[in-house]
Structure 1
Amino acid sequence: MDSKNGNLYLIPTTLGDNEPLEVLPLSVKKRIEELDFFIVENEKSARRFIKQIAPRKSQPSLTLFKLDKYADQLEVRTYLDVCLQGISIGLLSEAGVPAIADPGAEIVKLAHEKGIKVIPLVGPSSIVLAMMASGFNGQNFAFNGYLPISTSERKVAIKYLERLSKEKNQSQIFIETPYRNEKMLADLKSTLTPTAKLCIACDITLQTEYIRTLEIKDWKKEHPNLHKRPTIFIIHKE
């Protein structure tokens, strides 16, 4: 690793519309104030966040490289060239921490290939916070991303995760597109066994935060409004 290279800083953001310094340490603000190059998923929201946390920072001085599903992969591989010139760059998540359920992982992989030092900064991860608050096995858990969209395939996946949880004593974490949360919860209620436990963690760190763990037989009596609210689901079967 060449000490003359710039560093890649992994910069967390808030999980919703709250004041950055309510959930982020001052070190994140200081680092953003020092950097002029950022890799971002959405330029508009990135600029808004930077302005919010570092209002005195000059917006015209910023150079933002876009990393989304439309980004040209050959061009993406040039994003860290500034580090090879001794200039540090920030990888800014759209929500939460970079590279966890986030496209930034490919940039981190590239940094290691190029011998660029990777420095993760402290910030909120909805996955970790939900796991902390679930009451489930924090020694053994897995994040499964999104389950299938098809109802029949999703129910097969739910049963598989329940079986895996029981066999390995492993908490199974997954997410859903927010406008499909209600359908997901209905499928969980109808597919899991009555004694399986489910944690629902919604709007984490926000004023509307909702986190609850119940057995499925008890969830059938509860009907939280999850529509269009960022939600983490965790299954645990003892």
Structure 2
Amino acid sequence: MSAPRTPGALVLVPTPLDLGCAPPPDIRAALPIATLQCAAGLTHWLAENARSARAFLKRVNAVVPLAAPLQQQCITELPRAWHKHGDADRSADTAAEALLAPALQGHDVGLLSEAGMPAIADPGSAVVRAAHRLGLRVEPLVGPVSLMLALAASGCPGQHFAFVGYLPIDAAQRVQALRALEATAARQRQTQIFIETPYRNAALLQVALQTLRPDTRLAVACALGLPQQTVHAATVAQWRRHPPTLPLQQPAVFVLGA
């Protein structure tokens, strides 16, 4: 009788924030060598997007040879429904457990998002919950998290903050949400962080500058990790007097503070 296999770990592998940058810069500018070495040793992956995962592994291989050729890497995409509706719902738990079958067979499994840390502002939390439920080790690796980079560069209080994701698309609801975030920031001294789809960044900024009080502090961090990275932080009154030129067509993080 063969001995039972030791379960593998779920490894949370961060990726550079330079998605779509051509040509991509040296990956060592974004990830430490220890993270690259760990990623290179994996052969089983759960990914937000398989194509992006292969591109990431190709960049890793240029620095640290992969444990198995790219064609032999086992890459499984997370369910598409998680992209639109998230995976916080407990209905995602059964599917997440099934995705971790290779870990129960003894393989370490890497979890990837398209950019940044998986399961933060991206799908994957259901897989992490399932790993804990199954008694698997969960190992986060060091790498960039755009929300924290933006917060650190904003000048807003970093001891007490909340990430609220996307604001409503409906115009009236969006204004209401901005006023509520502003009130929370002022009342609780809690910095508010939110994001938007890049093609709506400019519209969101315009509404924010029209809605928020003049003394409210607003920071916008654009294109983090890219050559055109820009962070502008000022009071709303200062934004209105001296509007900067920002690469708003790139991913951006909005930070609001009292």
Shorter-chain TM-score above 0.5: yes
Distance 1:33 1:229 in 2: 29
The one of 229, 235, 258 equivalent to 1:209 is: 229
Distance 2:224 2:195 in 1: 13
The Cα offsets for residues 192-229 of structure 1, whole Å up to 9 and x where unpaired, read as 00110101101112110101110001111314334421
TM, length-normalised to structure 2: 0.87
The within-5 A match list for 1:1-238 is: 4-16=6-18, 17=21, 18-55=25-62, 56-57=65-66, 58-70=69-81, 75-220=95-240, 221-237=242-258
Distance 1:51 1:31 in 2: 14
Distance 1:64 1:96 in 2: 18
Give ranges in structure 2 of 5+ residues lacking alignment: 83-90
Distance change (3 Å), C-alpha of 1:70 and 1:172:
closer
1:3 positional shift: 9.2
Distance 2:117 2:196 in 1: 18
Contact 1:9 1:90 (C-alpha < 8 Å) held by counterparts: yes
Distance change (3 Å), C-alpha of 1:199 and 1:3:
farther
Distance 1:158 1:224 in 2: 22
Distance 2:5 2:186 in 1: 47
Percentage identity across aligned positions? 37
Cα root mean square deviation, aligned: 1.8
Q: Which is further off, 66-75 or 39-48?
A: 66-75
Query: Which 4+ stretches in 1 moved above 6 angstroms?
Result: none
The Cα offsets for residues 18-72 of structure 1, whole Å up to 9 and x where unpaired, read as 3211010111211122110000011111101101111343112200111142479
Distance change (3 Å), C-alpha of 1:121 and 1:153:
same
Distance 2:110 2:44 in 1: 6
Distance 2:217 2:165 in 1: 19
The letter of the residue matching 1:62 is Q
The Cα offsets for residues 115-161 of structure 1, whole Å up to 9 and x where unpaired, read as 11100000000000001111111100100000000111000000000
The letter of the residue matching 2:52 is S
